[in-house]
Amino acid sequence: METLQVVMSPLMLTLKIAAVSTFFVAFLGILIAYVLAKKEFTGKWLADVLVTLPLVLPPTVTGYILVILLGKKGILGSVFTKLTGSGILFTWQAAVIAAFIVSLPLMVKTASSSIGAVDRSVEEAACILGRSELETALFITLPLAKKGIVAGCVLSFARAVGEFGATLMVAGNIPGKTSTMPLSIYGAYQTGNSELADLLVIILVVISLGTIAVTSRLGER
């Protein structure tokens, strides 16, 4: 019973963080992907670089930048402190932000490629028939690009589940509060609890295999 609690607590926390993160990643990621795929504007290359940057930065560097931004004297942290009266660092919400930042590039890159591949003649036909750009995007472009969008969501969820470095920097490893699956594995290994570490690793491997299977299935359709 005690082992079940030790496993379920980080598992449920990890799934909650990944789900909330993926929700915001899907909303903002689709918007950014559409703009990058369909619009031409000054500084587009810079926007693409900034979105992609967390994908290539070491997680600890991303975490350090987030610590600066989310601290009580940081740009985002000061606003959060004024609104809530408490800091955001070392909370599960900070872990959500870390997961969001590191998984957003996967969503944008995957969805952008899929949106960019939609036949422009179909979109132009919709506009000729009186559809606005917003209606064309919602009812023509995005449905035709749904395979890439769903794949982006799945990959983003998987990335959020496996996030370690940035989460450790901004949320710490507080049992029952911010200790996610990867952090729990690290903690179990550090304390010599190999049985718990093995069990948690197996669960994460199963989740990862499920993610790969779903993504591959989408690619075959």
Q: What pLDDT digit, counting tens, does each position of 32-82 carry? A: 999 999 888 888 899 999 999 998 899 999 999 999 998 888 888 888 888
- CB-based contacts of 182, cutoff 8 Å, min separation 6: 14, 162, 163, 164, 167, 204
Homologous superfamily of domain range 2-220: MetI-like (1.10.3720.10)
Model pLDDT, residue 62: 93
Contacts of 146 (CB under 8 A, 6+ apart): none
- What does the pLDDT read at residue 221? 59
Q: Are 32 and 51 in contact (CB under 8 A)?
A: yes
For tokens 């299935």, name the residue: 217
Residues 6+ away with beta carbon under 8 Å from 44:
36
**Distance of alpha carbon 51 from alpha carbon 206, whole angstroms:** 29
Instruction: Specify the pLDDT at position 3.
Output: 65
Q: Which two tokens stand for residue 157?
A: 């969820």
Question: Is the entire prediction scored with pTM above 0.85?
Answer: yes
Q: What is d(CA 132, CA 122) in angstroms, rounded to the nearest whole number?
A: 13
pLDDT score for 193: 87
Q: Copy the structure tokens of residue 43.
A: 């500084």
- Spatial separation of the C-alpha atoms in residues 140 and 125, rounded to whole Å: 10
CB within 8 A of 109, min separation 6: which ones? 33, 52, 55, 152
Most confident of 35-39, 126-130, 173-177, 215-219: 35-39
Q: How far apart are CA 124 and CA 165, in angstroms?
A: 45
**Amino acid 126: pLDDT:** 85
